[in-house]
Structure 1
């Protein structure tokens, strides 16, 4: 079942898109745009305090008083990071502090008496997209390389039987402002419009055809009798 907060947000954006209305940019609501620019790319060091390292992120590891153990490179697709002496260390899912502590634990005693390890994020490549609404398998999915809107929906095993693929809304934060734009997936599939790129932290919500949903729910709930029954 779609997340209710996403459904409410979808309804708000859908009304605005359909009516050609621009929402107040000074409000906390979503700003509706005809097209979405790329999201914010600048990430400050403070943003990485609670950041969870992911596959393909580029990190640097510094061991104080042991410069020969310094290492910089990408986390592999399994979430592992190779370090001198201690070998492969699970980095995926850990904060920089947690990874530093894990490496220090492996070094302590056997190699160094009291190792101090610092981990810094050099490049955050681990990205996810949330796909919700009328899709077969809603969820949060990783983005590896570039992903288009069609590919994003396909990742969630496609639109379900009650979907309205003419109304697919993408939510994105641009310059600190939450924005939304609606796309017609049917026209994109036919080549009438370009297939837009989906970025990390985007939320994609596929609309629902209310008539199809009613028919689906009705066929599931009505008794299997060869006669009409009241619906109210």
Structure 2
């Protein structure tokens, strides 16, 4: 009798664990999104070199992802985190130009994501950490009267893959296109 109860307990535990792990998370961790954010075309970057107003500036990254920085020349920012860019600038300015440079690099404005289809204000909007489909639709003024609230798709940036009928809690990333379909009455 004890062996049968033990087997029933093990079977129940395995089934319960399988059910719990079968649902993927819908929204990524917003803190992790902003900390590991890689710069790309469309991002506006603010660089501040303490005590050097001529070196404090903003750049909008173009497709090449490079900037021309005073005393250094061309520098590639695309594919790097703001922290990596700050460390590289500090190292390249140290010595010949400044004794102990203090450099901060911040994202002044994230690159855009887009909302199209049956929303009141279809447009591109600056991405922000923790962005979901629901928040993106709110930024676009909400659904129109003709919107099919169940037919929401996302065209992923970079891959052009289409995710169909996503949940409103699904995360949206920079460059993604949220597409709200039209309902037929």
TM score, norm. by length of structure 1: 0.40
